[in-house]
């Protein structure tokens, strides 16, 4: 059975091409003008929409859609159960994410693509079998990062509501951009907190990436705190505390017919939110668990804060402060 079956869309002008990277001698190339959908099931669609069917049980019936804008930019939107990754980073379902040149799209069990402009189309692949989407492996290693605005309850009581909402929105927008630039995924904002994660890679590289991001984000927040164009509450200083925790989690998408967000369950999630509450001027503003420290000690300097009582945990937890990157 052929791996791909492609329906060529109608269109004018110069198309973009989705190029499959399969590690073999041949490469499959699929042109599209406006929108290209990837999945495992036929469906109604405009003639201008390309349809790529993939013979992979971990690919959803409608997995993702790639859009080519008139200004030349491309965006991808995840529609799936098992998720879509861009350069190894899981993107948030049903939110358009821009595809930068050279970035690799990953779907299913082993399908990788890049978007290009100058490839010859091929459309000679066979019809696929259809069936239920098989959910990908539930468990994955992840490093979770949480950043929280200190004394947010006090700010809500004392600061003007409109200015506070605008200022927090600007801060989180810029922190979000930094997370994406540094290879992470922002799962959500919980009022006064940003919740991001880096999924597992061999050797714990995701932990190194997350620690590097924590240092950058802490510095960014300090810079934004003194920028009146961002933080407009000069009488109410912005201070943020951070925590990083690493371990095994379960990641899934929320929603049945329409995927609308990510669900993540696991001890690192709870631990990161609890550790952040222990941060203060004495401990430092970035706290980590022992697993994070063990996986990233070769790249960063940590200070051992000893064992601390962490809410919800039966025994004391060894806590470390992330202080700086080590010289190369």
Residue pLDDT tens, the chain, 328 long: 468 888 877 766 677 888 887 644 345 778 888 889 999 887 656 666 888 999 888 999 999 999 988 777 889 999 998 889 988 888 888 889 998 777 889 998 878 888 876 433 333 323 223 344 555 555 678 899 999 999 998 899 999 999 999 999 999 999 999 998 998 988 888 778 999 999 876 567 899 999 999 999 999 999 999 999 999 998 899 999 999 999 888 777 665 555 556 778 888 999 999 999 999 999 999 999 999 999 999 999 999 999 999 988 888 999 999 999 999 7
Q: What's the gap between Cα 302 and its chain centre?
A: 26
| pLDDT on residue 195 | 94
* CA–CA distance, 318 with 210 (Å, rounded to integer): 19
Residue 265 dihedral angles phi and psi, to the nearest 5°:
-130, 135
| pLDDT on residue 19 | 83
Integer angstrom CA distances of residue 124 from 4, 40, 111, 116, 152? 9, 17, 18, 20, 59
| pLDDT on residue 293 | 93
Burial (0-12, 13-18, 19+ Cβ within 10 Å), 249: buried
- Measured over the CA atoms of residue 31, residue 37, residue 43 and residue 44, the dihedral's sign is negative
HSE (side-chain half, CA atoms, 13 Å) at 175: 34
Domains and CATH numbers, the chain: 4-116 (2.60.200.20), 139-325 (3.30.70.1230)
| pLDDT on residue 12 | 67
Provide the terminal-to-terminal Cα distance of the chain, rounded to the nearest Å: 49
- Measured over the CA atoms of residue 301, residue 303, residue 307 and residue 310, the dihedral's sign is negative
| pLDDT on residue 285 | 95
HSE (side-chain half, CA atoms, 13 Å) at 179: 28
* CA–CA distance, 315 with 309 (Å, rounded to integer): 7
Show the tokens assigned to 2. 């052929």
| pLDDT on residue 166 | 92
Specify the pTM: 0.65
| pLDDT on residue 328 | 79
Return the residue matching tokens 């997350």: 210
HSE (side-chain half, CA atoms, 13 Å) at 144: 28
CB atoms within 10 A of CB 230: 17
């Amino acid at each position: 059975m052929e791996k791909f079956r492609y329906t060529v869309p109608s269109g004018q002008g110069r198309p973009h091409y989705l190029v499959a990277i399969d590690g073999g001698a041949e490469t499959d190339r699929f042109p599209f003008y406006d929108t290209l959908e990837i999945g495992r099931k036929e469906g109604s669609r405009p003639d201008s929409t390309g349809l790529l069917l993939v013979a992979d049980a971990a690919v959803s019936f409608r997995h993702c859609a790639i859009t080519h804008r008139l200004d030349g930019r491309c965006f991808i939107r995840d529609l799936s159960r098992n998720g879509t990754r861009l350069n190894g980073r899981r993107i948030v379902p049903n939110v358009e994410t821009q595809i930068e040149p050279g970035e690799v799209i990953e779907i299913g069990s082993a399908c990788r693509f890049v978007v290009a402009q100058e490839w010859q189309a091929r459309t000679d692949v066979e019809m696929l079998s259809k069936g239920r989407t098989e959910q990908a492996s539930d468990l994955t290693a992840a490093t979770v990062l949480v950043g929280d605005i200190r004394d947010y309850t006090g700010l809500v009581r004392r600061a003007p509501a409109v200015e506070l909402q605008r200022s927090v929105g600007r801060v989180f927008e810029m922190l979000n951009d930094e997370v994406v630039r540094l290879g992470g995924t922002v799962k959500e904002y919980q009022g006064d907190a940003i919740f991001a994660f880096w999924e597992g890679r061999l050797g714990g590289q995701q932990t190194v990436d997350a620690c590097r991001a924590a240092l950058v984000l802490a510095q960014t927040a300090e810079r934004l705190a003194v920028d009146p164009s961002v933080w407009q509450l000069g009488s109410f200083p912005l201070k943020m505390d951070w925590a990083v925790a690493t371990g095994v989690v379960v990641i899934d998408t929320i929603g049945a017919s329409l995927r609308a967000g990510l669900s993540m369950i696991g001890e690192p999630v709870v631990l990161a939110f609890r550790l952040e509450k222990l941060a203060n001027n004495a401990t430092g503003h970035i706290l980590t668990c022992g697993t994070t420290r063990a996986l990233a000690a070769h790249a960063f300097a940590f200070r051992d804060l000893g064992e601390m009582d962490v809410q919800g945990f039966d025994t004391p937890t060894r806590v470390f402060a992330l202080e700086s990157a080590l010289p190369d």
